[in-house]
Structure 1
Amino acid sequence: MHPEFEKYLKENTNLTPDDIHHISSKAVGKTLRRNELLLQSGNVCKQKVFIAKGLLRTYSIDANGNEHILQFAPEHSWTLDVESYDKEIPAETNMGAVEPTEVLLWHKDDFNNLLSEVPELNKLSQQIISRNIYYSRQRMLTTLSATPEEKYDDFIQRFPKLLTRLPLRMIASYLGISIKTLTRIRHNQLQR
């Protein structure tokens, strides 16, 4: 069992030690090097992913080679390409490690069985889905209507611990602004 995953479950659920052991026993651990892909565009996402340590990003690359980051997943969070996973179709996104990362993986059939066998895990899963829907809606509204300064301020409020872990180009990509604009915003904030 991975101690970080056990800690996460103890803090976020009322699972029994036996349930925690059962859930953990179905997981496969994997260590990723910096920039190593966990999922490549065109492959089917077949696993739920828990980040025990490190940081993943989910992104696409457009026809001009520009990277568009959709999501960051730091330690103690879950991620997957939901459309690829649910529909069992090729993913349109890549998922890769920003830094050395340790993940736990559950194959779809195993995880679905766990959801049936462990009601508390099913409850946690529904809470995570609800939070992700809410967050996606908020992110879409911010992306469509906020100024670059407001987007950066929102990022700082949501992810204060990621600022020192991410290169500026990734933050700019996530915000949908140029690195030049991000540099100007950061410079102006330092001047205040």
Structure 2
Amino acid sequence: MITGFETYIRNNTNLGKEDIEKILAPAQARTLQRNELLLQQGQICRHKTFLIKGLMRTYGIVEDGSEHILHFSTENTWVLDAESYNCKQPSLYNIAAINHCEILCWTQEDFNRLLSEIPELNSLSMLLITSSSYNVRNRLFSTLSATPEEKYNEFTQQWPDLLSRLPLHMIASYLGISLKTLTRIRHAQLHR
């Protein structure tokens, strides 16, 4: 499990074996089963999590019980509710495993210590925050301005490998369209 994280760190930083071992020392390895929650709405996010294997979704549930997916997390990405984690406020969202997942978790105290002790890890963290902010703005703009067809086309370009790994109702939820509309779009594209 740890090898995937080591590869990620080596590909994204110039950190040596000693620093990587220092980062891994306080990490807890965990597995999540399908639909198991990493974070439940109303809880405070107290861990920074790295997804080694599997898929996860961040979603909210509205009053009528419908689920709205905000984000999919794939292998070799960080998973957390940043606002809840940083502000120590109850999360508005759930984070759950879509399938069997292998993760590494750090407590906030441990991770903050690592950020102060390993400047390059702090630089990577800042880069990821900037990238995340950019991606959120692009997703918001697309949600507000794109047609259902444009949203689906953007999804297939951004996440081509997820099309075969996700149920259609989750893709529809992420796109903010009905399953019926998504099915119509996919059917029309097959017949072009």
Shorter-chain TM-score category? over 0.9
1:159 alignment counterpart: 159
Give the share of equivalent positions with the same residue, in percent. 56
Q: CA deviation at 1:26?
A: 1.4
Amino acid at match of 1:158: Q
2:99 alignment counterpart: 99
Count of residue correspondences: 192
The 5 Å alignment of 1:173-184 reads: 173-184=173-184
Q: CA deviation at 1:93?
A: 0.4
Q: CA deviation at 1:113?
A: 0.6
Q: CA deviation at 1:111?
A: 0.5
2:78 alignment counterpart: 78
Q: TM-score, normalised by structure 1?
A: 0.98
Range 45-54 or range 1-10, more displaced: 1-10
Amino acid at match of 2:40: Q
Stretches (4+) displaced over 4 A: none
Structure 1 residues 122-174: Cα deviation after superposition (integer angstroms, max 9, x where no partner): 11101110110000000000000000000000001111111111000000000
Q: TM-score, normalised by structure 2?
A: 0.98
1:189 alignment counterpart: 189
1:55 alignment counterpart: 55
- Describe the SS at the equivalent of 1:34: coil
Q: CA deviation at 1:83?
A: 1.2
Q: What is the alpha-carbon root mean square deviation over aligned residues?
A: 0.8
- Structure 2's unaligned 5+ residue stretches are none
Q: Could you tell me how far apart the structure 1 residues matched to 2:103 and 2:94 are?
A: 16
Q: Could you tell me how far apart the structure 2 residues matched to 1:62 and 1:9 are?
A: 37
- Structure 1's unaligned 5+ residue stretches are none
Structure 1 residues 50-77: Cα deviation after superposition (integer angstroms, max 9, x where no partner): 0001011000100000000011000000
